[in-house]
Structure 1
Amino acid sequence: MLKNSGGGVLASLTYSMYRNARLAFSLVASLLNRLVEHSEKVFALVNLPHSAGARSLLVTATSLLLLMANGCTKQDPYSPPDLFYYFASYKVGKNPTTITTTDVNQDGYTDLVTTNMGSNTLSILLGNGDGTFGDQIELNVCKEPRSLALGLFNSDPFPDVVLACSGADEVAVLFGRADGKFQEGTRYPVHRTPIAIAIDDLNGDQVLDLVVALRNDKIKVFLGTGTGEFTHGAQYEYGDTPTSVALADLDGDGKIDLAVTNGGPMLNAVSIWMGNGNGTFRPPTDYKTGKRPLGVSFADFNHDRIRDLLVINGVQDSFTTFLGVGNGTFKPGHDSGADAGPNFGLARDFNGDRRTDVAIVNLQSSDLSILFGRDDGTFEYPPRNYRTKPGPFALASFRVTTKEDEEPGLVTADNGNGSVSIFLHRGLKAASAPVAPPP
């Protein structure tokens, strides 16, 4: 909270990302002293979480950005963003938990697919190529579909879907059709609550395989046959409540490796499992993350053409980046800030500077944060925040094409609202809507 010498409140600032009280103090002091010269004394009261080791800090400064010659101005924390703008929302099933973008019906336009845990359904929204989508096609699938992955599991050109059905203790495969719908395939029982799922070719046979994270501290492999069917593969018992999985070749040996976040209170780490090239993995190496890591993905944050790690820390209001060495190992992680309750993140170049940025949806604060990368695994702060509908749970990106341009778009899965929300890039020449929060 910022006050003038007369006791009037000038502005309020929340800075929850840092666990280190001195770091928060340093940031606020720097901002107050360097931005705008002013003769009046200004006080900043910085409220910190209990874990920071201090309840508040008092900063005295002689300048403040918000002070003007005739008084002070109030600034909406959501008004500065100029990179994306809210465009539209579309209804999906109840409590969407995952969103994926792909061309479902092979018409050349990106479509949206969501899992809806509250209604036991899958929603498909067919795209028009300009950032707009048709009304949902809602399909009954299985009990509590929590996550999904899309790929070509059989010989036709239409993407198929595999679901982690948490409430049914099974993995369900659905086959894509030309009309954008999916038809029932085979269901595979697993032991207790599948949480996350990822696909890749684990054994080098040019056929997609599955890795499923189970709540009872197990990782299960299914090997694809190329016909849309899967056979049971290896199973590993390790970790502490796995929450997400990701697959990639981390050391350049042509074998797919595995990253798993462990969100339980005992471990709080991301585990790296190096692949053997036959559908099995070697014992993992753990890297410490923030509290309750919820999501993991790969990106190149420092332009060295080596895969790095992005981990979202749900309890700590932060995310951690790990720079890859190139042999499957990683340097110690670097924590950066998010808003309240980060739940999902992805890495892309959003501002066209050829540096990898990060976008995160924050479940508790109901907003979308974008942080610009510095090309060294760290990010500019503060982020650009965009209001979303209640409870953004997941996030995906897509490309929007007009006659004049092509730019990225973002879409959030709004768990508290049963909707998906579209944010378009301001670089689109056809885009003229003002910056505004979702209605």
Structure 2
Amino acid sequence: MDTSSMNAGELSTKRSRSNSEQDNSDSIKISVKQRKVTIDVCDEIGAKSSRQEIHISMHACGFFLFLILLAIIGIITVSLTSLKGEGMVHIDVLLGYSNGFFGTLIPYSTNYDSLPHSIRAVDFNNDSQLDIIVANSDTDNLGIFLGYDNGSSMVQRIFSTGYQFTPYCVDVGDFNGDNRIDIVVVNYGSDTVGVLLGYGDDYSSNSLFILFGNSDGTFGNLTVWPTGLKSRLHSAVIGDLKNDQKLDLTVTNYGLDSIGVLIGNGDGSFGNFTTYSTGFESQSYLVALGDFNNDQFLDIVATNENADSIYIFLGYGNGRFQNAATYLNQLLSYPSWVAIGDFSDDSISDIIVSSS
């Protein structure tokens, strides 16, 4: 695999548009530099048709990749975490105009010293409006903001993950086949992942969390799965690793230098926790899924912050994976965030990695 770097966080991609008279293509060029995101939309001959600059806080820089990917795939509402002043923490929403421009940042408080660490957007209550969920790592809870059609007036609903659980990553999917959105969260402080059924607050350590949705913005009780003492879960990603139409879960075990795979049973429960090494003191940070060898099976890529590398585990399509192939990054680059996309427009999955 060839690797390359982009100065100042530059990224370009093509975006197609069409009408009844002609088909055209333009491109989006996004750069991140000195706490500023710049979005340029260019026509097919390279002339700039629009430019917008979005200023973000230092804490938000770690989440710029999420903003970039949303812009590339054409979603017109962007959300990111932000830190403003001592202890004043919030998420920011930018409403898009479908022409490469975004409106003014709209902040929504996640409460004092909450330190939001991960964010997702999905419709939880079936009103055709995007809602937002955020993991508040320093206040040990999840915040859900139910959206309105004008993108305003969202109020945070709080779901506790347990004292000193330190939730680091959230993702969403339907784990029990009831066509309702559920939430999975990994907790760095308690080595846990979990699932909520019904109502209550029965939590335990060394486990996995999933919140089962009721299609009205509420969620059920919590069920937990052990992931190992001092596993220090850092991220999670959802996908069908076994080709059985059931969602499975992959996590990074930052403290145990490995990734972990939980195969879903389709009813909200999971099988045994299987781990794959990422190397001694590698400190696996973030994980993503993609088909890197075009065999129609999902593969895994993980960033190893302390080893300046990424690991790729090719899947067999049955929930099992080959030993990792290693790709070194620049020395002391500390690769952290990773995402998958077709950035060269050749129908082949590419990998983008941000370095600390």
Aligned to 1:225: 214
**Paired residue for 1:190?**
161
User: Distance between the aligned counterparts of 1:356 and 1:169, measured in 2?
Assistant: 35
In 2, Cα distance between equivalents of 1:185 and 1:165: 11
Map 1:17-56 onto structure 2 (within 5 A): none
Aligned partners of 1:322 and 1:334 also within 8 Å: yes
Matched residue type, 2:168: I
1:149 and 1:86 mapped to 2: Cα distance? 21
* Match of residue 316, structure 2, among 322, 325, 334: 325
User: Secondary structure of the residue that 2:338 maps to in structure 1?
Assistant: strand
The 5-angstrom pairing of residues 32-111 of structure 1 reads 85-86=29-30, 88=38, 89-93=53-57, 95-96=59-60, 97-98=62-63, 100=66, 110-111=76-77
**Contact kept? 2:192, 2:227, Cα under 8 Å:** yes
Would the aligned equivalents of 2:117 and 2:135 in 1 still touch at CA under 8 Å? yes
| Match 2:233 to one of 231, 234, 242 | 242
**Equivalent residue, structure 2, for 1:140:** 109
Secondary structure at 2:143 match in 1 = strand
CA RMSD of aligned residues (A): 2.6
Deviation at 1:133, TM superposition (A): 2.3
What SS class does the counterpart of residue 315 from structure 1 fall into?
helix
What secondary structure sits across from 2:186 in the alignment?
Answer: strand
* TM-score relative to the length of structure 1: 0.60
Unaligned runs of 5+ in 1: 1-16, 18-76, 364-439
Q: Which digits, 9 at most, give the CA deviation of each residue in 1:346-366, with x for residues without a partner?
A: 111111222211111111xxx
- Following the alignment from structure 2 to structure 1, what is the Cα–Cα distance between the partners of residues 56 and 245? 39
Which whole-Å deviations, capped at 9, do the CAs of 1:217-267 have from their partners, x for residues lacking one? 011121111110011231123231000001111112121111010001xx2
After superposition, the Cα gap between the structure-2 partners of 1:82 and 1:324, relative to the gap in structure 1 and judged at 3 Å, is closer
Deviations for 1:30-65, whole angstroms, at most 9, x for unmatched residues?
xxxxxxxxxxxxxxxxxxxxxxxxxxxxxxxxxxxx
Partner Cα distance (1:134, 1:337) in 2: 39
Contact 1:310–1:321 (CA under 8 A) maintained in structure 2? yes
Q: Give the counterpart letter for 1:90 in structure 2.
A: I
User: 1:275-296 CA distances to partner (integer Å, 9 max, x unpaired)?
Assistant: 1111111111111114111111
Letter in 2 for 1:193: T
1:342 aligned to which of 320, 328, 335: 335
CA distance in 2, matches of 1:359, 1:334: 17
Counterpart contact for 1:338–1:360, Cα < 8 Å:
no
Say which of 102, 108, 113 aligns to 2:79.
113
Q: Distance in 2 between matches of 1:315 and 1:103?
A: 25
Is this contact kept in 1: 2:262–2:272, CA < 8 A? yes
| Residue of structure 2 in register with 1:128 after alignment | 97
Is the 8 Å Cα contact of residues 93 and 138 (structure 1) preserved in structure 2? Answer: no
Q: Residues 205, 78 of structure 1: CA spacing in aligned structure 2 closer, same or farther, 3 A cutoff?
A: closer
Taking a change above 3 Å as real, the CA distance of residues 103 and 328 of structure 1, as seen in their structure-2 partners, is closer
Give 1:200-349 correspondences, 5 Å limit. 200-215=173-188, 216-219=190-193, 220-239=209-228, 240-264=231-255, 267-290=256-279, 291-339=282-330, 340-349=333-342
Distance apart, 1:101 and its partner CA: 5.3
**Partner residue in 2 for 1:409:** none
SS in structure 2 opposite 1:255?
Answer: coil
- Check conservation: 1:126, 1:180, Cα contact below 8 A: yes
Q: Which amino acid aligns with 1:218?
A: T
- The change in CA–CA distance for 1:349 and 1:98 in structure 2 (over 3 A counts) is same
CA contact (8 A) 1:313 1:343 kept: yes
SS at match of 1:98: helix
Q: Whole-Å Cα distance in 2 between the matches of residues 221 and 354 of structure 1?
A: 33
SS at match of 1:186: strand
Aligned-pair CA distance for 1:314: 1.0
Q: How far apart in 2 are the matches of 1:94 and 1:300? A: 33
- The correspondence for 2:121, drawn from 134, 150, 174, is 150
Q: Distance in 2 between matches of 1:103 and 1:352?
A: 15
2:152 pairs with 1:181: yes
How many pairs were matched up? 283
Partners in 1 of 2:91 and 2:57 — Cα distance? 7
CA contact (8 A) 1:338 1:362 kept: no
SS in 1 for 2:220: strand
Relative to structure 1, is the Cα distance of residues 82 and 362 closer, same or farther in structure 2, using a 3 angstrom cutoff? Answer: closer
Please tell me whether the aligned partners of residues 175 and 182 of structure 1 are also in contact (alpha carbons under 8 angstroms).
no
| Counterpart in the other structure of 2:352 | 359
Letter in 2 for 1:129: S
3-state SS of the aligned residue for 1:205? coil
Q: CA deviation at 1:132?
A: 3.1
Q: Cα offset for 1:341?
A: 1.5
- Provide the identity percentage: 27
C-alpha distance 91-152 of structure 1, shift in aligned 2 (>3 A): same
**Which position in structure 2 is the counterpart of 1:199?**
172
Hey, which bits of structure 1, 4+ residues long, moved more than 6 A?
none
User: What stretches of structure 2 of length at least 5 have no aligned partner?
Assistant: 14-28, 32-37, 39-52, 194-208
> Are 1:259 and 1:272, in contact at CA under 8 Å, matched by a contact in 2?
yes
* TM value normalised by structure 2: 0.73
Once the 2 structures are TM-superposed, how far is the Cα of residue 210 of structure 1 from its aligned partner?
0.9
What is aligned with 2:45?
Answer: none
